[in-house]
Amino acid sequence: MKMSPKARQRFLSVMSVVALFLIWELVCRAFGISDLVLPKPGQVIKVLIERLPALMPHATQTLFTTTVGFALGVLAGIVIGVVIGSSKLAYDVAYPLLVGFSSIPKVAVVPIFVVWFGAGTVPAILTSMVISVFPVVVNVATGLATTEPELEDVLRALGATKRDILWNVGLPRTMPYLFASLKIAITLAFVGTVLSETVAANRGIGNVMMIASGNFDVALVFAGLFILAILGVALYAIFSFIELKVTGWAQRKTEFAMV
């Protein structure tokens, strides 16, 4: 059978997931592992399908919270990144602050948000926002700071303003960096949402998993994990696709490799 390298790559990705499930199932059966410790994937999928109507609103809630938090985080990240990346002074002043900020475990900020805004959607949105800001800031700032000085000279001698340069060179050049950070940020945003939902919410997948584990319904906990994984992969795939469309120029090497 002959396959294009791309189809082959897809096929292998799918096969690796199937293989993982198969091995998992086999290990559970072979060693007689209790469902309370590690449920078989078949069972998890069964629970997932049976409980889907009840899980859907929670999945939607988590998805909504994550996307809003992510969107706000990215917006803030771009603004901060542009400011830091286009001024040496801002870069030097703000960088230590950012590093310190990003080193704070995000678990620690959830209680603060809960005190400020009460339990529910708001702290979840804020947590996922806070957690997804940093990679965006760093990547945008790096992209801007690496503009070739000679090109900048060419443009400045033409009378270009800082804004002209940012608009025509800085931002487009930053696109590949931005998209790379978006793919990291979206998975982190899920982490933030679920974290907050586990601690302080009455809806969302994080909350479902919390309650299920209290009831020793381990299969349901895993069903929640599956949903998170599926949502994560779906959003990741969406951004990869947009990335390919927007920054194809930065990926010419893979194009060549495919021929």
Partner 1 sequence: MAAYIELDNVSLRYPGGDVLALDATDMAIGEGDFVAIVGPSGCGKSTILKLVSGLIHATTGNVSVGQREVRGPSKGVGMAFQNPTMLPWLTIRENVMLPLKIVEPFRHEYAAKKKTEFAERAEALLKKVGLAGFGDKRPWQLSGGMLQRASLCRALIHEPRLLLLDEPFGALDQFTREELWSIMQSLWMDGKPTVILVTHDLREACYLGTRIYMMSARPGRILEIRDVDFARPRTLQMTFAPEFTALVQHLRMQIADSRGTVVEAA
Binding site residues, partner 1, CB under 8 A = 148, 150-151, 153-160, 164, 168-169, 172-173, 175, 247, 249-250, 252
CB of 152 to partner 1, least distance (A): 9
**CB nearer partner 1, residue 108 or residue 259:** 259
- State how far the Cα of 46 lies from the Cα of 99, in Å rounded to an integer: 44
- State how far the Cα of 97 lies from the Cα of 112, in Å rounded to an integer: 19
CB of 85 to partner 1, least distance (A): 17
**CB nearer partner 1, residue 132 or residue 147:** 147
**CB nearer partner 1, residue 8 or residue 156:** 156
**CB nearer partner 1, residue 168 or residue 202:** 168
| 3-state SS record for 19-31 | HHHHHHHHHHHHH
Which positions ≥6 away from 176 have C-beta within 8 Å? Answer: 143, 243, 247, 250, 251
Residue 4 has which token pair? 């294009």
Strand (E) or helix (H) holding 58 = helix 52-86
CB of 71 to partner 1, least distance (A): 24
Residue 126 has which token pair? 């804020």
Residue 146 has which token pair? 């690496």
**CB nearer partner 1, residue 145 or residue 250:** 250
**CB nearer partner 1, residue 31 or residue 256:** 256
Only one residue has tokens 């294009």, namely: 4
CB of 169 to partner 1, least distance (A): 7
Comparing CA positions, the residue from 105, 83, 107, 103 lying closest to residue 93 is 83
- State how far the Cα of 259 lies from the Cα of 249, in Å rounded to an integer: 16
CB of 75 to partner 1, least distance (A): 23
CB of 145 to partner 1, least distance (A): 16
